[in-house]
Chains A and B, each alone.
Chain A
């Protein structure tokens, strides 16, 4: 390996001479061996971004090559970990350097000393293809970690395979051609892992959030963006999704986010129960925490590192959800590096390749037939933090070109403490049609019909509200006054959902459907009553309407809802 020399240092960018490294190769800069990556080669100079603070580094210090790009270590022991952007376990860093992160620390992504019980699932003589599993490890109580032939390896017939306790470095399988396989392999993070075939998104990803599942649903393997100005609830929304989404593995990438927020998440995840299994949520989670004050180059890498681990679990046949909070900080990291490289900027100072990078990232999502046989998926939910809450800025616009679901967070709703503050008029999901057959089969044939009815009411409501702003609601015809009231019910009783209420935080599909159906029932009864000439004030003050507001807070809601609806019918009958 060549050893070069530092020529110039300016912030996180270093220029070095005397290297032979290729683009994106990992190099170690200075006496302390700071982890860095080659991001440009010009003449005899290598341009290097350093993942750590460069204070004190001087010209003339050595730069060592490693001969490989930035890779993720993939094998048992990734789950429950808390990493920084370049897959260094943060608790390990704390052990080595105390509460503040110091420089030049090198730590393996997974524990190389721990022994795992390897159970072969293939036997001597079996022919292995690339990506095919030949054994498994019980990584967590409910997660069975499949040990696969690295996708880039040729494969071949098994000569020897051993069961028992091994570390990830020990050989567990030998192929006829002499290739030794261990439980771990490395994968360059900037490269997508191959699959057999990408599949259509026909299965919904259940989140338990009425406005998401009911109105703007995400498919497994789908992509969604949550843009919103600061304080509109992006982070709460992402954390709620991580908690409740019906996936096997959650990868949470805190990319340039707040330290206290990460502390909250790291504190909460181990305590939270997976609603489906009763096990701690942390057992199926991987957290990447590269807070805003940690080095900007590692922030840029964190998205790729996170994605690579997501793909790895997908290859085992699991459904994975990757949440990136926030992709704007990632884009800003690119901008910062670009401006230090003195690249010609594109829109608003972002590099011209911003769109291409975003596209590459979102394209790594999807439901797929994996090389091992079977199916897996990676869904992405990317938060976008548009500057000044302006959705026309480049990161939001480039993201919208790629994603299929758009949850527009609205600061007006936040101010009214309406959560989740997803604007029901601006948001959309392009999975509406592809998912309908699933809902018809599994919940109700009326799923999409009710959705469309409710949306039409909200649309009409928006138009009526403009008139109301001018003339007041009493001046409207009676049926339109009812529409206003029903819209208010949909908004307050159904779309609003408290992430902090123990019951309301999660609504199963059936409950979502029943509640909306009940509100629409009220609408029908109310319209009938108006036809009969009953005054609006009487219709809107039936007590059962207020009772309906609280049904969502009940776990065993069905008998209560039935009672409320019976009461409602009786009250409407009694109206004169």
Chain B
């Protein structure tokens, strides 16, 4: 039996201060008993004189008489194959009325860094069935690709559509979805769960729910538990894991709250100076390890406060993740779904997952060409608004029309429409075919000869 201390000297927000302890390890798991209730916490600062503990389930109900015991070990997650299909709380306790997880293994939730030399280069194309992702911001297995969105935009629908449709070309394999909710409303959580149930996805999912009214400190734990589970499924059980967490903004708010409680010197906008490192520790747990079959692909969702992409949360995330998918309010207002603005969106790993042997050899060229004229067309909209469409040159008119058609035909698609990559490229070519061939400066002649609808249909006729 471990020693119990009743030497709490101070309780301040989510923190408790305990004195006169035996030497306690940094990051150790702490149990606090008060009136029959058990709360858990973690050591943040330890010295001979005083130990600072953050309490995950909130400090409500704690008093100077509460009994604190140190477990002598860091926080570990109990794991077994039976975890698939379960709904757990943000701190890993059953929320679905089921039994506790009977552990086959216990894993440190802090997660060690994957040795960069052991990583496999991610390059397996994942088809999401969404043109703006597959065609122009391709996702590959092992990537971390966040969705940057704003309040009131359909990012959850996009995430669900991806979770539903994502597949590798031409092979069936075991895969799992991990869903970590951090501080989202009950209604949003229900929306996700209902969709998982409707599509049968729940059977191969692990859900961690920390809702808006659950303790904020618990949120610091949630992604760590999810990722530890992901690593177990991917690298012990050879599964391809897709992990969606929403909303990272709430997670960062919790970090800030903790920082303030500890009276740390704040960085930008009050967020702690170590937020970059903290986020990196979560995001970097995506990837593939050489010689292992499984993989972890991450889809963090974050809402940009005030749609501001320079806000520290999206800004720091963008520096760590391998690109970003931006949900645009403007496109949403135009009634376009999914309202993905491809211009600021990016997939950094796209290049290794496309082209010959992955998708098709003309993929890069088509994508670049679409980008170039969509961006130019967008700029021309401003001009057309001032001088009128008629005053534009012939070329500019074509580009302007291209941008409109691009949004209607390429970007826009149904919530259940699962386009193959070849459908997506075909739509791209159909749009490019409306421009004179000489304007296709980014496309090699040989691809034009092969895939341009003009030549492709001629070739068919000849056959």
Contacts and interface: CB of A to CB of B under 8 A. Distances in A.
A484 to B, nearest CB: 10
A411 interface: yes
A393 to B, nearest CB: 9
A546 B438 contact: yes
Given A99-B115, A291-B116, A389-B310, A10 B26 contact: yes
Interface in B409-463: 438, 441-442, 444-445
Interface string A219-233: 000000000011100
Interface string B321-358: 01110000000000000000001101011011000000
Contacts of B185: none
Interface string A306-331: 00000000000000000000000100
Interface stretch (B92-100, B210-218, B239-247, B269-277): B269-277
Nearest to A92: B117
A293 interface: yes
A451 interface: no
Contacts of B83: none
Interface stretch (B32-40, B168-176, B364-372): B364-372
A388 B309 CA distance: 7
A278 interface: no
Contacts of A60: 23, 48
B1 interface: no
A411 B122 CA distance: 25
B283 to A, nearest CB: 8
B393 interface: yes
Contacts of A102: 112
A31 to B, nearest CB: 11
Contact of B47 (A7, A101, A388, A414): A7
B289 A261 contact: no
A20 to B, nearest CB: 21
A446 B93 CA distance: 74
A289 B119 CA distance: 12
A339 interface: yes
A260 B121 contact: yes
A263 B116 contact: yes
Nearest to A53: B110
Among A59, A289, A335, find the residue whose CB has the most chain B CB atoms closer than 10 A.
Answer: A59
A472 B392 CA distance: 6
B122 A260 contact: yes
Contacts of A93: 115, 117
B105 interface: no
B116 A390 contact: no
Interface stretch (B11-19, B196-204, B379-387): B379-387
A411 B315 CA distance: 14
Interface string A88-105: 001101100111111000
A492 B442 CA distance: 9
Interface size class of B (residues with CB under 8 A): 35 or more
Interface string A239-254: 0000000000000001
Contacts of B387: 470-472
Interface string A39-57: 0000000000000011111
A474 B45 contact: no
A469 B385 CA distance: 10
B143 interface: yes
A332 B276 contact: yes
A390 B276 CA distance: 17
A101 B280 contact: no
Interface stretch (B61-69, B126-134, B248-256, B260-268): B260-268
Interface stretch (A128-136, A200-208, A341-349, A358-366): A341-349
B77 interface: no
A264 interface: yes
A348 B267 contact: yes
A267 B27 CA distance: 35
Interface string B375-401: 110000011001100011100100000
A192 interface: no
A475 B154 CA distance: 43
Given A9-B26, A289-B116, A293-B285, A258 B322 contact: yes
B119 A260 contact: yes
Contacts of B117: 82, 90-91, 93-94, 266, 289
B318 interface: yes
A388 B113 contact: no
B267 A260 contact: no
B114 A99 contact: yes
Contacts of A97: 115
Nearest to B120: A263
A455 interface: no
B10 interface: no
Given A56-B25, A469-B386, A8 B47 contact: yes
Contact of B318 (A231, A261, A339, A342): A231
Contacts of B348: 231, 235, 261
B322 A260 contact: yes
Contacts of B115: 90, 93-94, 97, 99-101
Contacts of B110: 53, 55
Interface string A479-520: 000000000000010000000100000000000000000000
A548 B375 CA distance: 24
A59 B46 contact: yes
B118 A470 contact: no
A549 interface: yes
Contacts of A8: 45-48
A336 interface: yes
A420 to B, nearest CB: 14
B284 interface: yes
Given A90-B115, A260-B286, A415 B45 contact: no
Among A102, A292, A348, A474, find the residue whose CB has the most chain B CB atoms closer than 10 A.
Answer: A292
Contact of B383 (A229, A387, A469): A469
A294 interface: yes
A291 B74 contact: no
Contact of B289 (A57, A82, A99, A289): A99
B315 A416 contact: no
Interface string B46-73: 1110000000000000000000000001
B106 interface: no
B25 to A, nearest CB: 4
B287 interface: yes
A262 B348 CA distance: 13
B273 A57 contact: no
Contacts of A291: 113, 116, 280, 284
A129 B351 CA distance: 52
Given A82-B116, A99-B114, A475-B391, A263 B121 contact: yes
A385 B319 CA distance: 8
A54 B26 contact: yes
B79 interface: no
A98 B396 CA distance: 58
A201 B197 CA distance: 67
A231 B324 contact: yes
Given A230-B318, A332-B277, A339-B265, 5 more contacts: A55-B110, A82-B117, A266-B116, A291-B284, A417-B442
25 contacts: A8-B47, A55-B25, A55-B26, A59-B24, A99-B114, A99-B235, A254-B116, A260-B119, A266-B117, A291-B116, A291-B284, A292-B276, A335-B267, A335-B273, A336-B273, A339-B264, A411-B344, A415-B344, A415-B375, A417-B375, A417-B442, A469-B386, A471-B387, A472-B387, A500-B364
The list of the 4 closest CB pairs from A to B, nearest first, reads A388-B310, A292-B280, A8-B47, A263-B119
Interface of B: 23-28, 44-48, 73-74, 108, 110-122, 142-144, 235, 264-268, 272-274, 276-277, 280-281, 283-287, 289-290, 292, 309-312, 315-316, 318-320, 322-324, 343-344, 346, 348-349, 351-352, 364, 367-368, 371-372, 375-376, 382-383, 386-387, 391-393, 396, 438, 441-442, 444-445
